[in-house]
Amino acid sequence: MPNSTLEVHPISGALGAEIRGVDLRNLDNAHFAAIHDAFLKYLVIFFRDQDLSPEQHKTLSRRFGALYVHPYLAPIDGHPEVVRIVKQPDDTLNFGGSWHADLTYLEKPMLGAILHAREVPTVGGDTMFANMYLAYETLSAGMRYLLDGLIAVHTARNTGYYKREKVRSMGVLESAKTTYDTDAGTMFEHPVVRTHPETGRKALFVNALLTVGLKDMTEDESRPILDFLFHHLARPEFTCRFRWDTGAVAIWDNRCVQHFALNDYPGQRRVMQRTIIAGDRPY
């Protein structure tokens, strides 16, 4: 597929755009600049009819930043920066089946991810994305004032009031081979509201999967605030939904986007290939 004039087609009013007329294996600087502009504007961008080898997948990812090796998902052979997420027909849970941003328990959470569909079910298996700029900007002035001074605690450990039982029910312990138990994960504190380092906009930066409390607050004090935010950020008007087909690619900004992998395709197989782009410390 030779590159031609890029076409950018928004897919919802909140976020997301499908980009046509480009082969991601062969990007010149002008095409990449247009793609990066769309990435910052629409927060998640989609491409169809691509065929990236693991090496080509890594080359594309490096255009956005340094690659990061996932701390507990096992890589594919020969490519430590690339993981393959497989849901087998008899798996009951799926990987990423809750609203979340990735790896927020790290000191420097990832900038973003590039996900490539290698095998998809005949129906189902969509991914939803949510705009955390809108989630913050639609809060009342009083709530924004409160949140701007708060620090959240993020962890992959079995701690806080979001216990392993809840994590298991969200489907993060199946469909991906792990290199160690997620109880061994790290813990870190980040602002509840982070400032995007490239756009300067503010975004909510808490998620139901990895945020376990608010600094200097008791559980009874922090839980109502977090539960409100987890409900608020998933409002339908903040979201878009992408229907995968084989060869499709999604690139999203983990600094201002959360995502949710739907588990509505029992008895079918789904194979996704993913890279992670290293990020910086939120402020």
Catalytic residue ranges: 100, 102, 259, 274
What are the start-end ranges of the H helices in 11-53?
A: 29-42
Which residues are CB-neighbours of 263 under 8 A, at least 6 positions away? 87, 93, 94, 97, 171
Which residues on adjacent β-strands are paired with residue 73?
A: 178
C-alpha–C-alpha distance, residues 128 and 241, integer Å? 4
Dump the DSSP string for 166-200. HHHHTT-SSSS-BSS-GGG--EEEEESEEE-TTT-
Residues 6+ apart with CB under 8 A from 20: 6, 7, 9, 47, 48
Coil, strand or helix: which one is 92?
A: coil
CB atoms within 10 A of CB 209: 23
